[in-house]
Amino acid sequence: MSDEITIAVAKGRIYKEAIPLLARIGIVLKDDPEASRKLMLDTSWANVKILVIRTTDVPTYVARGAAELGIAGKDVLLEYADDNLYEPIDLGIAQCRMMLAGLKVAAPVVDRPRVVTKYTNITKNYFAGRGQQVEIIKLYGSMELGPVLGLSDWLVDLVDTGNTLAANGLVTLDHIADISSRLIVNKAAMKMKNALIKPIIGQLADIVGDGS
């Protein structure tokens, strides 16, 4: 059994906030991802590598065992929902909210409302919990245009400041979930490499104050 640990980290904001957090437990990047073409980045721990990938791919890499650990947003984890993952720590980084939003001035919604989102599973589960049938239209970006151009009645998306909604004449209608980044672990790796993984989990939990 290899004693190497690979940590898959989502690109963008999560990466920028996760790397300093890992550095606090001594896992410091030796490679500069901006200057290197390497896909697996070396760290100050000889047996720990960092894999920087698209946020939606992180749970797949971890669930399938290509990486033992991962750092991804709760939004992606709710959408992915795989039994092969543990989610031991809320790292408290890259925080935002999953919200239902619509036009500030809108005609009454009749029949089955139309909702644009890229979070189809989250949206389906949310409206199922309300006992409401909706038509879900999947988009990959610019959700605000859905209600503005009449493609949909509402949208479901991540909201940080709310400035983009306001600039397009939209308002939040309901709070669906608080979102932050979580440490995830492959279940099989947790058993096979427990002696290697448990200290990482413990040190990160001590830093963020999450003893779950």
For the stretch 109-145, pLDDT in tens is 778 999 999 999 999 999 999 999 999 999 998 999 9
Lookup: tokens for 173: 């209608």
Amino acid at 131: G
- Please answer whether residues 76 and 10 qualify as being in contact, where contact means their C-beta atoms are separated by less than 8 angstroms: yes
What does the pLDDT average to over 167-189? 96
Whether 73 and 88 map to the same domain: the answer is yes
Count: domains in the chain:
2
The structure's pTM equals 0.90
pLDDT digits (tens, 9 = 90+) for 157-173: 999 988 999 999 999 99
- The whole-number pLDDT of residue 35 equals 75
Gap between the Cα atoms of 87 and 184, Å rounded: 5
- Of the candidates 53, 95, 101, 52, which has an alpha carbon nearest to the alpha carbon of residue 74? 95
pLDDT digits (tens, 9 = 90+) for 18-71: 999 999 999 999 977 777 778 899 999 999 999 999 999 999 999 999 999 999
Question: Is residue 197's pLDDT more than 90?
Answer: yes
Gap between the Cα atoms of 99 and 156, Å rounded: 6
Whether 81 and 185 map to the same domain: the answer is yes
Cα within 13 Å of Cα(149), Cβ side: 7
Gap between the Cα atoms of 87 and 103, Å rounded: 36
Lookup: tokens for 176: 């669906």
Whether 152 and 101 map to the same domain: the answer is yes
- Of the candidates 151, 111, 102, which has an alpha carbon nearest to the alpha carbon of residue 134? 111
Whether 113 and 142 map to the same domain: the answer is yes
N residues, the chain: 212
- Please, which residues bridge with residue 186 across strands? 85
Whether 68 and 167 map to the same domain: the answer is no
- Share of residues in the chain with pLDDT > 70 (%): 98
CATH number assigned to the domain comprising residue 13: 3.40.190.10
Whether 16 and 89 map to the same domain: the answer is yes
Whether 121 and 185 map to the same domain: the answer is no
What distance separates the 2 farthest-apart alpha carbons in the chain?
62
Average pLDDT of the chain is 93
Lookup: tokens for 160: 């940080």
Whether 198 and 173 map to the same domain: the answer is no
Residue 80, domain extent: 5-94+180-208
Whether 159 and 184 map to the same domain: the answer is no
- The whole-number pLDDT of residue 210 equals 64
Question: Is residue 211's pLDDT more than 60?
Answer: no
Gap between the Cα atoms of 198 and 68, Å rounded: 12
Whether 112 and 186 map to the same domain: the answer is no
What does the pLDDT average to over 5-24? 95
- The whole-number pLDDT of residue 125 equals 96
- The whole-number pLDDT of residue 12 equals 92
pLDDT band at 1 (very low <50, low <70, confident <90, very high): low
Whether 46 and 110 map to the same domain: the answer is no
- Of the candidates 155, 11, 144, 158, which has an alpha carbon nearest to the alpha carbon of residue 75? 158
Whether 76 and 140 map to the same domain: the answer is no
